A and B are shown apart, each in its own frame.
Chain A
């Protein structure tokens, strides 16, 4: 054991760290090398803005899928973010700390539920409710948004709680000393101070929503259609890849990789915004 020593351990750990990073790098390079040539050959504007996705006729326009992904994520944000932040506020400001310490890990368990289970509940419970009370086929943009909204709750709640708890107690004490009520303190002082962390949590939740595949395939209907209403059936970028990748060959396969490149870029943008916001939270 003495042979390995200090330098040896250093090198072993560095090797392991590099292998993790290089795995990520290799995946990125692979996706880009498969997808980028297609984009150059087919034309970026045609690819992004054409509404016809008919592989048999060599038409690869992903605009309906981009619209669907954006709408589903937006819907998930509207449904999940306010609920998540409200739960986080309740758990950190109104509930005794000991109770919160039990509830928070339980909510984080929600993140461990496989997305297939969420999709299954969506198909069995949510879609019939939408179909019976709101109309349409039930398997729709709305169903996708609701399910995704629930799926991003653990992320939003967890990180928001951390940000809210990171606000120094002196802020709250100062506000209360000036005569503010708890709620006034929360919305005038605490939230403002925890703002960047809360925004970061929402953006990270959106990152999960954009990348979600299984649950969306089961509940959103998968039609290649620009949604006219929330009750229309839609197909997201992720669902498109998952439905067709197993049998696509040639140009079709490259088109799906190019879809992956677009998704990649979207998620990188989202995560960069989130990390900038998170860093702002730390520096004060």
Chain B
């Protein structure tokens, strides 16, 4: 063999050794609810700092994706934020790790401050189409909603009963993009996870109740849903350890600090 071939083989073998060795990392994937996704990422970061041999990846997609991924095994843990789990999730083991309020949000310049449940229903159904019917500016209401597989949407439509979304409502594919759309459009109204509210949008009072921790815990604010982490079969090993971490005092403290409600309060 020529010198070049020997050198090439040597380089290949050494690079395989260098890249192939190293501690084998265990992997956990979470997929599903975009409402819980930022919090799952934060918890995963904190957890990975305490344990070096495990990698946790978090994906979004919506609660329906979370259920499907857990059922099919494409994710280890499915995240779903639903008022109640649908029948196809029966065979999954569900753990409640947090509770979250759904806030009705508008642009900060919007003069509206509160709505009743009936008004919300009418807006999303298309019966009220202009802000002036609610005492605001003369501008058409731009309704922003999620896609059909979203847990936030399913919970919203279940709690605010009889919602048949108007045909020309804008559809966005995650809590984050709803926030961006509402933040950019002075006439928009949408719903998203209470934990995702920032200074770019304004949350409205619903039936006189603010979407704050106190009202939710007191049961006064009605738009609430639990966040389930779904596992196929009983959680064991690394998955169980991660779930235990989320339910531990430290995990629940992180959840509380970032705007969600702890699982038990």
- Is there contact, CB below 8 Å, between B62 and A222? no
Closest A residue, CB atoms, query B71: A249
Task: Evaluate whether A131 and B168 lie within 8 angstroms (CB atoms) in the complex, with A123-B180, A247-B62 already known.
Answer: no
Kindly state the separation between the CA atoms of A221 and B170 in the bound complex, as whole angstroms: 5
User: Which residues on the B side are within 8 Å of A235 (C-beta)?
Assistant: 171
User: Which residues on the A side are within 8 Å of B133 (C-beta)?
Assistant: none
Q: Does B138 contact A (CB under 8 A)?
A: no
- Is there contact, CB below 8 Å, between A137 and B65? no
User: Which residues on the B side are within 8 Å of A225 (C-beta)?
Assistant: 167-168
Kindly state the separation between the CA atoms of A15 and B148 in the bound complex, as whole angstroms: 45
Q: Does B259 contact A (CB under 8 A)?
A: no
User: Which residues on the B side are within 8 Å of A55 (C-beta)?
Assistant: 148
Contact of B168 among A124, A127, A233 (CB under 8 A): A233
Residues of B58-77 at the interface with A, using a CB-CB cut-off of 8 Å, are 61-62, 64-65, 67-68
Q: Does B244 contact A (CB under 8 A)?
A: no
Contact of B184 among A127, A222, A244 (CB under 8 A): A127
User: Which residues on the B side are within 8 Å of A249 (C-beta)?
Assistant: 68, 88
- Is there contact, CB below 8 Å, between A223 and B168? yes
Residues of B182-236 at the interface with A, using a CB-CB cut-off of 8 Å, are 184-185, 187-188
Q: Does A224 contact B (CB under 8 A)?
A: yes
- Is there contact, CB below 8 Å, between B181 and A139? yes
Q: Does A232 contact B (CB under 8 A)?
A: yes
Q: How large is the interface on A (under 10, 10 to 19, 20 to 34, 35 or more residues)?
A: 20 to 34
- Is there contact, CB below 8 Å, between A243 and B142? no
Kindly state the separation between the CA atoms of A123 and B182 in the bound complex, as whole angstroms: 12
Give the total of B residues in contact with A, Cβ under 8 Å: 25
- Is there contact, CB below 8 Å, between B64 and A247? yes
- Tell me the number of A-to-B contacts counted with CB atoms below 8 Å: 60
- Is there contact, CB below 8 Å, between B170 and A56? no
Q: Closest CB of chain A to B133's CB: distance in Å?
A: 18
- Is there contact, CB below 8 Å, between A232 and B173? no
- Is there contact, CB below 8 Å, between A137 and B172? no
User: Which residues on the A side are within 8 Å of B171 (C-beta)?
Assistant: 221-223, 235, 243
Kindly state the separation between the CA atoms of A224 and B62 in the bound complex, as whole angstroms: 19
Closest B residue, CB atoms, query A243: B147
Closest B residue, CB atoms, query A51: B167
Q: Closest CB of chain B to A248's CB: distance in Å?
A: 8
- Is there contact, CB below 8 Å, between A232 and B185? no
Closest B residue, CB atoms, query A135: B140
Q: Does A205 contact B (CB under 8 A)?
A: no
Kindly state the separation between the CA atoms of A124 and B185 in the bound complex, as whole angstroms: 11
Task: Evaluate whether A137 and B185 lie within 8 angstroms (CB atoms) in the complex, with A246-B61, A246-B68 already known.
Answer: yes
Kindly state the separation between the CA atoms of A202 and B185 in the bound complex, as whole angstroms: 35
Task: Evaluate whether A243 and B64 lie within 8 angstroms (CB atoms) in the complex, with A138-B185, A223-B167, A224-B167 already known.
Answer: no
Q: Mark A45-89, 1 if CB is under 8 A from B, else 0.
A: 000000000011000000000000000000000000000000000
Kindly state the separation between the CA atoms of A128 and B188 in the bound complex, as whole angstroms: 12
Q: Mark A225-259, 1 if CB is under 8 A from B, else 0.
A: 10000001101000000011011110000000000
Q: Closest CB of chain B to A1's CB: distance in Å?
A: 11
- Is there contact, CB below 8 Å, between B173 and A233? no
User: Which residues on the B side are within 8 Å of A124 (C-beta)?
Assistant: 184
Contact of A244 among B67, B149, B177, B181 (CB under 8 A): B149
User: Which residues on the A side are within 8 Å of B188 (C-beta)?
Assistant: 137
Q: Mark A211-222, 1 if CB is under 8 A from B, else 0.
A: 000000110011
User: Which residues on the B side are within 8 Å of A248 (C-beta)?
Assistant: 149
Residues of A6-39 at the interface with B, using a CB-CB cut-off of 8 Å, are none
Closest B residue, CB atoms, query A131: B185
Kindly state the separation between the CA atoms of A138 and B171 in the bound complex, as whole angstroms: 13
User: Which residues on the A side are within 8 Å of B68 (C-beta)?
Assistant: 246-247, 249
Pull 10 A–B residue pairs with CB atoms less than 8 Å apart, ordered by A.
A137-B170, A137-B188, A138-B184, A139-B170, A218-B177, A224-B167, A225-B168, A233-B169, A235-B171, A247-B149
User: A residues within 8 Å of B by Cβ?
Assistant: 55-56, 123-124, 127-128, 131, 137-139, 217-218, 221-225, 232-233, 235, 243-244, 246-249
Question: Which 6 A-B residue pairings sit nearest by Cβ, starting from the closest?
Answer: A247-B64, A247-B149, A222-B171, A137-B142, A246-B65, A221-B170
Beyond A223-B167, A223-B169, A246-B65, 5 extra complex contacts between A and B, CB < 8 Å: A127-B184, A217-B173, A218-B177, A246-B64, A249-B68
